[in-house]
Amino acid sequence: MFKRMARKVASRVKDEDTTIRPTSQVDFLKDFLSKHNYVFSQDFEENLEILKKKHLVDDFVVTNFDGSVVASSNGNGQSDGIMGTAMFSYIKSEIPDSEAVLIKREDGWFMLFALNKKVFIVRAGSDLSGIELKALALELSILMEENKETKMEKRVAR
């Protein structure tokens, strides 16, 4: 009994380390980044899908100011494109210094944003900040530019 008590006192004084490495949590964390690894492929449509996941949005449509669709993550953004561009152009004409338009609908948020002479119409579950919209628009612009270059190269190769 004395021995046990002495060991306890010694352990207290020595501040013994009783911690253990949480193996299962470490294993879980090791796998975490692989689930958020966004590697773009050669396929433009596939890349739009990847971008959608990366930026946590439901859908997006990119249009010219005349409403013609440049890119769409659901493959069919014609009606959203026309409506979104018309809405953005109207707001912009009424409030010239407006940067983005946010519309709350039953099925989520619609965010309209212009960059590099294109209108970006983004649908998401919750509203995105201007920063997030800009980040998505910038990455989309790069992707569209690369896609244009690839198409040009293919045309030249032919």
Partner 1 sequence: MTRVIVIASGKGGTGKTTITANMGIALAKAGKKVLLVDADVAMANLSLILGMQSSPITLHDVLLGESQVHDAIYDGPNGLHFIPSGLSLDNYKRVDSERLSGIIATIADQYDFILMDAAAGIEKNVLSALSAAQETLLVTMPTSPAIADALKTKIVAQRLGSKVIGVIINFVMGEKGEISKSECSSILELPVYGSVPYDPEVRKSFMQQKVLPVIARKPDSIAAKEMQKIASRLIGVQVSNSDDHKDKKGFFSKFTSIFRRNKK
Position among 6, 7, 10, 68 found at the interface with partner 1 (CB under 8 A):
10
Q: Which of 59, 67, 109, 134 binds partner 1 (CB under 8 A)?
A: 134
Which residues are registered as beta bridge partners of 144? Answer: none
Dihedral angle over CA of 25, 26, 28, 29, nearest 10: 120
Q: Closer CB to partner 1, residue 31 or residue 106?
A: 31
- Angle ∠(95,61,34) on CA atoms, nearest 5: 120
**Binding to partner 1 (CB under 8 A): which residues in 33-92?**
33, 36, 54-55
- Phi-psi sector, 108: left (phi>0), alpha (psi -120 to 50), beta: left
The one among 7, 90, 125, 130 contacting partner 1 by CB under 8 A: 130
What tokens appear for 20 in the block?
Answer: 């253990």
Q: Which residues bind partner 1 (CB under 8 A)?
A: 10, 13-15, 17, 19-22, 25-26, 29-30, 32-33, 36, 54-55, 129-132, 134-135, 138-139
